[in-house]
Structures are given as C-alpha cells and as structure tokens.
Amino acid sequence: MSVRAVRHRPALRIAFALVALAAAARQARADGPAPDAGIWRVRSGGPLAIDGGLVLGQPAALGTGLSTGVGAGASYGRLLAVGLRASWSTATESSMAWQVTQADYKLRATAAVQRAVGRGRLALRLGAGPTLVHETRLRNQSTLQTSATSPLAAGELEGVVAVHIVGPWLLTMSGGPSLTIIDGGAHVGWTSLIGAGWQP
C-alpha cells in the first residue's frame, strides 16, 4: 500500500461521514417535524371556562374576621365573557356574652373583560347578586341559641389571573373589593379565590 493511500484514508472517512449526515438530514426534512406530544403544551383556548377553589374574604355582615369556604363558577366568551358564580363561606366571632357564626351563601351573575397573554388570561370581572347570610348566636355558658337568615344585595369587582399549566387545566387566582347593602347602608369588604380551572 502506498504512503499516499494511507495519508488519504482519514479524508475518505470524513467525506463518507459528511455524505451520510447529509442524507439523514434530508430524510428528516422529508418526514417533517416531530409532533409535539408534551403534556405542557396548551391544548385549549375555547370560550368556555370553569373554575373552583378556596374562598377567603371578609364576612358579608360582620365587621371583622375571616370568612373561609369554597366557590366555583363558569363563564363563556372571549374578549367579553358572561357567567355565573356561587360560593359558601363561614366565619365565627366571639364576645364576652356571645359566639356568633355567619355562613354566607353567594350567587352572582358576572360580566368580564378579558385578554389572553401568553399562557395566561387576564380579566376584570364584575359580579352582582344576592348574598344569603345565615347567622347563629350562642350565648356563652348557656344553651340559649338563636338563628336568623337575611337576604342582602351585594357585588364584587375582581381582578382575575388564569395560567395554563397542563393541557386544558389552569391555575386561577382572583380578588378585589366587595360591597354589601345592609339596612340601607354600604358595607365594604374584600374577597379572593385561589383554585383550578378547566378550559376545553
């Protein structure tokens, strides 16, 4: 074997490798890009959205305290969305003489202005409707107990953030001021929700 043949053997190997690589790249382009099967891909963007989660807020008719419970709702629309929401929460306050427990049952008709931003959605939502307040008073060191139920007009203005996590599932957060009409006067409070959503 000549010295020239030995010297050119590595060059031949490199040439063959480049030809094979070019053929593989051409075959990949012919087959097209691989489908995206990742679970993190957003696979929804329809007008229907459903969510629910933990509710925290100020009681509708108590001056202090924290009312906790659960809430859920549904909306339909893209830039402008309308929907319904419902929630239940309860708070307990004590004094020297009484222990007072209030359960707030809220039903709201809502209208929202919203916009998609990347994987998320931002919205400003206005809700209005009745709040049914069920109050139970238990006298300390006694079995004396009274209860009453009152319907109140109320509403909220909330900022909403929803972020797509997996497929059609979202992390949702909302919160803002609330207003309840009690005996002709306005009781201002706040409300918030953190939970999960579904947008098919």
* Predicted pLDDT of residue 22: 57
**CB-CB contact of 180 with 60 (8 Å):** yes
- pLDDT for residue 97 is more than 90: no
Q: What angle do CA 71, 122, 159 make, to 5 degrees?
A: 55
* Predicted pLDDT of residue 5: 45
Which residues span the domain enclosing 81?
A: 48-198
| Three-state DSSP state, 53 | strand
Whether 41 maps to a domain, the answer reads: no
Q: Residue 141 sits in a domain of what CATH number?
A: 2.40.160.20
For residue 129, what are its two tokens? Answer: 């409707």
102 and 23 assigned to the same domain: no
119 and 172 assigned to the same domain: yes
* Predicted pLDDT of residue 167: 86
* Predicted pLDDT of residue 64: 78
12 and 58 assigned to the same domain: no
How many whole angstroms from its chain centre is CA 180? Answer: 24
- pLDDT for residue 2 is more than 50: no
* Predicted pLDDT of residue 63: 78
Q: Which uninterrupted H or E stretch holds 8?
A: helix 3-31
pLDDT, tens digit, 9 for 90 and up, residues 142-168: 778 899 999 999 999 999 999 999 989
Whether 151 maps to a domain, the answer reads: yes
Q: What is the mean pLDDT of residues 101-106?
A: 96
**Predicted TM-score of the model (pTM):** 0.77
- pLDDT for residue 141 is more than 60: yes
Measured CA to CA in angstroms, residue 53 lies from 81, 88, 108, 184 at distances of 20, 11, 16, 32
Query: Taking all residues of the chain, what is their mean pLDDT, rounded to a whole number?
Result: 85
- Domain total in the chain: 2
- pLDDT for residue 103 is more than 90: yes
Q: What angle do CA 107, 91, 138 make, to 5 degrees?
A: 115
- Distance separating alpha carbons of residues 169 and 44, to the nearest angstrom: 9
Whether 24 maps to a domain, the answer reads: yes
Higher pLDDT, 127 or 139: 127
- In the DSSP assignment, the letter for residue 114 is E
